[in-house]
Amino acid sequence: GSLTVLGNSHTALGMLIAVDVWNWMGLPVLIYTAGLRQISGQIFEAAKLDGAGNARMLFSIALPLLMPALGTLTTLSFINTFNQFDIVYVMQGVQGNPSYATDTLVTYFYRLAFGAEGAVRITAIGLALALGTRLFRILSLGSLL
């Protein structure tokens, strides 16, 4: 038999994640590479002379100096969560078939706006906005560390 990756509810979301990772992988690599090039090699040389190992240099030098890049990527990743409609729509259609397994926040909003009951729609939108706000706070805290 044939393997329908997008037709199986267990593999469809994984396929959409793979497409999104492939689509977005270049930008983080570019931003982190630019951030690493901003760090002077003399800092790492001085740390080695002071006896710092690779893990200590990573956590005490590289990561703190990469925080602006991490903050930028956190913000862009949050914005990207609201730009998932096109990938899901092209690969699955509006319903996010099979059985809404590939639903994202944006496709969920779309289904609520154009096909749900009134009171349920308002409650669900409020819940989704609360979840979106919570996600933003979690991602913002991650960029401050």
pLDDT tens column, 122-136: 777 788 888 988 888
Instruction: For residue range 89-110, list pLDDT tens digits in order.
Output: 888 765 556 677 888 888 777 7
Cα–Cα distance measured from residue 59 to residue 61, given in angstroms and rounded to the nearest whole number:
6
What amino acid occupies position 92? Q
pLDDT below 70 — which residues of the chain?
1-3, 93-98, 115-121, 143-145
Short-list 19, 136, 5, 22, CA closest to 77: 136
Domains in the chain, ordered, with CATH?
12-144 (1.10.3720.10)
Cα–Cα distance measured from residue 29 to residue 39, given in angstroms and rounded to the nearest whole number:
16
Helix axes 26-38 and 67-81, enclosed angle (nearest 10): 160
Cα–Cα distance measured from residue 135 to residue 81, given in angstroms and rounded to the nearest whole number:
10
